[in-house]
């Protein structure tokens, strides 16, 4: 591994088994079901969430997105509006402006790594050493390995597709929170989640806690408590 290619800087997108659970959905985002075609793109993922809201007539929802999930909840709010979604919670998540893709928010060497590890079916999966050191740094080895086994290859196209938005997140009239796990170095600490991405929200509520990018595995109790603090009125 080269000096300048040491971290991938993604997140739930690379596995996201629990992302849809966080939403309280019974299905998963398009592209994240194990059997999904790995060529699906960002708009497919957003649309699958939009359809879920509409099919189930969900209203006044607090929507949490983790990592890549920040792309999806931003896009979904833009289509669904404040009647259906009352607050967006970004948990160490990407915050896109109109026309940005996820890869625009990671260092160039990450893009190089993604390109290098992309499979023929269009999916990417994080190498274990990166997972262990930079994503789940606060786990013991058993948990690091067990959680890695649960990862689900992710459709890379969702990182390279640019997002269509009618306005920037800072202009969106909705409650906005950023939940920051303070030992999350899945993005380099010199190019961090917070405040680099959080401040793209305009007025937002900051909630933070100790923990890695994978606090859903390493400290779910505290994470749940902080999600409530981030999501309440």
* Residue ranges binding a copy of itself (CB under 8 A): 1, 3, 6-7, 129-130, 132-134, 137-138, 140-141, 168, 170-171, 175-176, 182-183, 185, 188-190, 194-196, 198-199, 202-208, 210, 229, 232-233
Give the residue ranges of DSSP H helices in the chain. 19-22, 42-55, 69-80, 108-117, 128-130, 141-149, 157-160, 215-218, 220-231
Copy the structure tokens of residue 130. Answer: 């990166």
CB of 2 to a copy of itself, least distance (A): 8
User: Is the CB of residue 146 less than 8 Å from the CB of residue 219?
Assistant: no
Please identify, using beta-carbon distances, which residue of 35 and 190 lies nearer to a copy of itself: 190
Please identify, using beta-carbon distances, which residue of 1 and 56 lies nearer to a copy of itself: 1
Copy the structure tokens of residue 25. Answer: 């959905």
CB of 129 to a copy of itself, least distance (A): 7
Please identify, using beta-carbon distances, which residue of 104 and 183 lies nearer to a copy of itself: 183
- Find the length of the chain: 233
CB of 11 to a copy of itself, least distance (A): 16
Distance (Å, rounded) from C-alpha 95 to C-alpha 57? 26
CB of 134 to a copy of itself, least distance (A): 7
Q: Which are the contacts of 34, defined by CB distance < 8 A and separation ≥ 6?
A: 152
Block residue for tokens 């690379």: 14
CA dihedral 60, 83, 62, 232 (to 10 degrees): -70
Distance (Å, rounded) from C-alpha 87 to C-alpha 61? 7
Please identify, using beta-carbon distances, which residue of 25 and 143 lies nearer to a copy of itself: 143
CB of 107 to a copy of itself, least distance (A): 11
Distance (Å, rounded) from C-alpha 225 to C-alpha 130? 28
CB of 207 to a copy of itself, least distance (A): 7
User: Is the CB of residue 76 less than 8 Å from the CB of residue 47?
Assistant: no
């Amino acid at each position: 591994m080269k000096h300048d290619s040491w971290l991938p800087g993604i997140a739930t997108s690379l596995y996201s088994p629990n992302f849809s659970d966080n939403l309280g959905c019974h299905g998963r985002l398009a592209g994240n079901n194990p059997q999904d075609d790995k060529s699906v793109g960002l708009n497919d993922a957003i649309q699958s969430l939009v359809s879920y809201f509409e099919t189930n007539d969900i209203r006044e929802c607090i929507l949490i997105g983790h990592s890549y999930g920040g792309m999806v909840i931003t896009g979904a709010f833009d289509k669904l509006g404040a009647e259906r979604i009352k607050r967006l919670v970004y948990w160490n998540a990407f915050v896109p402006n109109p026309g940005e893709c996820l890869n625009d928010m990671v260092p160039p060497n990450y893009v190089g790594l993604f390109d290098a590890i992309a499979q023929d079916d269009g999916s990417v999966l994080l190498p274990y050493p990166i997972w262990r050191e930079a994503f789940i740094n606060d786990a013991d080895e058993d948990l690091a390995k067990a959680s890695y086994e649960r990862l689900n290859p992710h459709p890379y196209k969702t990182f390279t597709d640019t997002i269509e938005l009618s306005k920037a997140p800072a202009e969106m009239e909705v409650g906005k929170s950023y939940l920051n796990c303070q030992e999350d170095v899945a993005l380099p600490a010199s190019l961090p989640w917070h405040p680099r991405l959080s401040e793209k929200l305009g007025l937002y509520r900051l909630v933070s806690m100790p923990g890695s990018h994978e606090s859903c595995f390493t400290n779910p109790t505290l994470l749940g408590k902080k999600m409530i603090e981030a999501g309440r009125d």
